[in-house]
């Protein structure tokens, strides 16, 4: 029996891409995984895939940007399965727009999902974790929080996630609860492909490894930070980026 | 975890508190380990390499390590103390070695496009001289086995896309420094 067999891991935005890979990896490690998504078809497909591989997974629909929806989602998970011991805040939207196109509505949408969503889920999860004296939260930010063209709203939201994580890591440390960040670089995902080819190639030149990461690379880092092997680590921003975070000035030649 | 071959270890001045670190890492990776006395020998190893620089005070090691690590095709881990981020009362030599190791790892990561990668594991400076004390806001008694889990991660397949980074196995001490996000 896995060490994680009694633990519930909730992955927000787990219905596709990186979130699906994280869900599958946590299930492979033995966690009982609850896949959150807005889209039932996607969530069902991820759960079916995990189940067919011998893992244990369920899904719960919910909108992370709405605190009432998040509270209802946690209530349901706790009633059906038990308290969440690992929370992965993965749900997010990219916000690629020059400042002239950063309308109030655009800003509100990006920050509602990418930042407010992390607050809603984390705030709800930390109570039971504090009571249990244990728990691990892994927030998926982005290397882009350091800054990038067209990313003012997205970077602000992800910078907020980093700051929130560090503050809560300090606040929760003595309660036995750890919070860490995974900051992906260029990961081959639907969100990354949502730009034109020229912009895509320009992005690639900024990666020292010269390669894209995979959702599995992120899932591996999340599994590490979720569990006991990283018991000495809290408030860490772990860049999974092929070195892009070191110095990411693109080659314009 | 799949077995890997030949964990090469170079630890020129291994502190008492970390004596068991190499064995712990080798056990987690499932590989035999071999200590080397000359860093050049690290370049001849096709397997992962563990370099422990805590307790080292000679900055000339970086001149030797740079070409060796840059040419490696397998992962490398550098273990340093956290004096370089400004923790209380660091020995200046240890702080300089730590800063140098981070700079070395970052520089190599952006200069090469080879299959190897190099990451840093930063541990409490106080652990080096005073094992058994509590470390960081997590209030942990951090020892070699705890650090080994982090070292093994950066030397294993699960950190394939992580390069030039610093991982803090420090109970959260790094949170109080501006250098760490």
Domain boundaries, chain B: 7-57+66-130+144-170
The Cα–Cα gap between A95 and B65 comes to 42
B chain contacts of residue A169, beta-carbon cutoff 8 Å? 137, 172, 175
Report chain B residues touching chain A, CB-CB < 8 A.
Answer: 106, 109-110, 112-113, 117, 135-140, 142, 146-147, 149-150, 152-153, 157-165, 167-172, 174-175, 180-181
Please give, rounded to a whole number of angstroms, the shortest distance from the CA of A74 to a CA of chain B. Answer: 26
Whether the CB-CB separation of B171 and B124 falls below 8 Å is answered with: yes
Tokens for A114, please give them: 């990418």
Mean of the per-residue pLDDT values of chain B: 91
Q: Which residue reads 């840093």 in tokens?
A: B120
B chain contacts of residue A213, beta-carbon cutoff 8 Å? 161
pLDDT of residue A3: 64
Residue A118 in this model has a pLDDT that exceeds 90: yes
A3 touches B: beta carbon within 8 Å: no
Sheet of strand B118-123: strand arrangement: B33-35, B7-10, B49-52, B76-81, B118-123, B166-168
B chain contacts of residue A208, beta-carbon cutoff 8 Å? 109-110, 112-113, 163-164
B86-125 pLDDT, tens per residue? 987 668 999 999 999 999 999 999 987 667 999 999 999 8
Q: In this predicted model, which residue has the larger pLDDT, A132 or A201? A: A132
Q: Which residue reads 């409490």 in tokens?
A: B124
Whether the CB-CB separation of A14 and A90 falls below 8 Å is answered with: yes
The Cα–Cα gap between A209 and B116 comes to 10
Q: Which residue reads 């209802």 in tokens?
A: A72
Test A208 with B106 for CB contact under 8 angstroms: no
B51, containing H or E segment: strand B49-52
A239 touches B: beta carbon within 8 Å: yes
Burial bucket for residue A58 (CB in 10 Å: 0-12, 13-18, 19+): middle
The Cα–Cα gap between B125 and B134 comes to 12
A154 is catalytic: yes
For CA atoms A240, A246, A250, A253, the dihedral sign is: negative
Whether the CB-CB separation of A83 and A124 falls below 8 Å is answered with: no
Please give, rounded to a whole number of angstroms, the shortest distance from the CA of B8 to a CA of chain A. Answer: 22
Burial bucket for residue A81 (CB in 10 Å: 0-12, 13-18, 19+): middle
Rounded percentage of chain B residues whose pLDDT exceeds 90: 75
How many residues does the structure list for chain B? 181
Residue A2 in this model has a pLDDT that exceeds 70: no
A63-114 pLDDT, tens per residue? 999 999 999 999 999 999 999 999 999 999 988 899 999 999 999 999 999 9
The Cα–Cα gap between A189 and B8 comes to 36
A chain contacts of residue B170, beta-carbon cutoff 8 Å? 232-233
CATH number for the region B7-57+66-130+144-170 comes to 3.40.50.720
Distances (CA, A) of B165 to A88, A107, B14, B92, B159: 22, 31, 22, 22, 11
Rounded percentage of chain B residues whose pLDDT exceeds 70: 92
Read off the pLDDT band of A210 (50, 70, 90): confident
pLDDT of residue A1: 42
Chain A nearest-CA residue for B138: A173
The Cα–Cα gap between A198 and A134 comes to 46
| Catalytic hit among A4, A154, A247, A249 | A154
How many residues does the structure list for chain A? 253
Read off the pLDDT band of B130 (50, 70, 90): low
The Cα–Cα gap between A161 and A93 comes to 14
Tokens for B104, please give them: 């070395």
Which residues face A37 on adjacent strands? A61
Q: Which candidate in B172, B173, B174, B178 is best for mutational testing of the A interface (most A CBs within 10 A)? A: B172
A234 touches B: beta carbon within 8 Å: yes
What architecture (CATH level 2) is domain A8-185+215-237? 3-Layer(aba) Sandwich (3.40)
């Amino acid at each position: 029996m896995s060490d994680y067999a009694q633990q519930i891991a909730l992955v927000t935005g787990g219905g596709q891409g990186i979130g699906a890979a994280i869900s599958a990896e946590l299930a492979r490690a033995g966690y009982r995984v609850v896949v959150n998504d807005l889209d039932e078809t996607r969530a069902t497909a991820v759960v079916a895939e995990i189940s067919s591989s011998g893992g244990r997974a369920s899904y719960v629909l919910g909108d992370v940007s709405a605190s009432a929806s998040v509270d209802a989602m946690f209530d349901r998970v706790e009633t059906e399965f038990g308290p969440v011991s690992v929370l992965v805040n993965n749900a997010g939207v990219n916000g690629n727009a020059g400042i002239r196109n950063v309308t109030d509505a655009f800003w509100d949408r990006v920050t509602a999902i990418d930042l407010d969503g992390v607050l809603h889920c984390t705030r709800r999860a930390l109570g039971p974790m504090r009571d249990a004296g244990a728990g691990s939260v892994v927030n998926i930010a982005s290397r882009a929080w350091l800054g990038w063209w067209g990313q003012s709203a997205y970077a602000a939201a992800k910078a907020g996630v980093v700051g929130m994580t560090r503050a809560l890591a300090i606040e929760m440390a003595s309660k036995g609860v750890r919070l860490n960040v995974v900051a992906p670089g260029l990961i081959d995902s639907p969100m990354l492909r949502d730009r034109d080819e020229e912009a895509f190639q320009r992005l690639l030149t900024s990666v020292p490894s010269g390669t894209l990461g995979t959702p599995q690379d992120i899932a591996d880092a999340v599994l590490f930070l979720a569990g006991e092997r990283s018991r000495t680590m809290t408030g860490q921003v772990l860049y999974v980026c092929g070195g892009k975070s070191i110095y990411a000035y693109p080659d314009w030649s | 975890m799949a077995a890997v071959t030949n964990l090469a270890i170079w630890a020129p001045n291994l502190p008492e508190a970390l004596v068991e670190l190499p064995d712990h890492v080798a056990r987690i990776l499932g590989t035999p380990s071999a200590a080397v006395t000359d860093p050049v020998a690290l370049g001849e190893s096709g397997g992962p390499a563990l370099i422990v620089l805590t307790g080292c005070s000679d900055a000339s090691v970086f001149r030797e390590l740079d070409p060796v690590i840059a040419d490696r095709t397998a992962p490398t881990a550098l273990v340093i103390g956290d004096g370089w981020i400004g923790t209380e009362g660091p020995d200046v030599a240890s702080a300089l070695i730590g800063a140098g190791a981070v700079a070395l790892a970052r520089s190599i990561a952006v200069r090469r496009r080879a299959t190897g990668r190099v990451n840093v594991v930063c541990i409490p400076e106080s652990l080096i001289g005073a094992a058994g004390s509590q470390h960081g806001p997590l209030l942990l008694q951090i020892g070699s086995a705890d650090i080994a889990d982090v070292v093994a991660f950066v030397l294993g397949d699960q950190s394939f896309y992580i390069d030039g980074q610093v991982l803090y196995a420090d109970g959260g001490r790094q949170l109080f420094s501006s250098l760490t996000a």
